[in-house]
Amino acid sequence: MIALVSVRHMSLVRRATTEDAVEVLRLRQVMIDSLASAPGATDWHPQSLPTLRDRLADPDGEFAAYVVDHPERPGAPAALAAGTLEYRIGRAGNPQGLIGYVFSVATDPEARRRGYARACMEELLHWFREQGAGYVMLNASADAEPLYASLGFTRDPDPSMRLHL
């Protein structure tokens, strides 16, 4: 029987550190690959690593990542939830203008269905609340939507547009 991580066992969740940077990138790639029809390129990892390490080294910054260590691989996280805090001019319902963005949630395939992603998300949401975010946004795959819905997320009509620079 697989034991699920619960709020009572949050000690399993920790904030990622600079020493976790390579593994954080690996888990981000797990998420990216799960959304694609084929595994994606990883040649961008070395370029991303210095910036990620800088962000992980700043506990007072606008970026946070939470991990659960893999039960069979010491020193390697099994799950990740990462996000950023962004300021926008306030408005009704969010007068401080702080918005949380969850952009990377992943669990190693062999460690799924144990509650690790949920535990990491709960810690990340707690961090967003402590920072004063008025709300949190994310993009959800069909497979992940039940987890996010159980945490209180709802689907919004998305008028987003994008420009690649």
The full set of domains in the chain, from first to last, is 7-150 (3.40.630.30)
2 pLDDT band, cuts 50/70/90, is very low
Task: Count CA within 13 A, CB hemisphere, residue 120.
Answer: 29
The CA–CA distances, whole Å, from 32 to 25, 49, 113, 118, 149 equal: 10, 16, 19, 18, 21
Would you say residue 20 has pLDDT above 70? yes
Angstrom distance (rounded) from CA 147 to CA 121: 9
Q: For position 165, what pLDDT does the model report?
A: 82
- The pLDDT tens digits for 119-152 are 999 999 999 999 999 999 998 888 899 999 999 9
pLDDT above 90 (res 1): no
Q: Residue 74 contacts by C-beta under 8 Å, 6 or more apart in sequence?
A: none
Over residues 21-46, the pLDDT tens digits come to: 999 999 999 999 988 877 889 999 99
Q: Could you read off the pLDDT of 91-124 as tens digits, one per residue?
A: 998 999 999 999 999 999 999 999 999 999 999 9
Counting beta carbons within 10 angstroms of the beta carbon of residue 120, is it exposed (0 to 12), middle (13 to 18) or buried (19 or more)?
Answer: buried
Task: Identify the pLDDT of residue 6.
Answer: 45
What is the structure's pLDDT at 15? 97
Query: Which of 1-5, 78-82, 136-140 is predicted with the least confidence, judged by mean pLDDT?
Result: 1-5
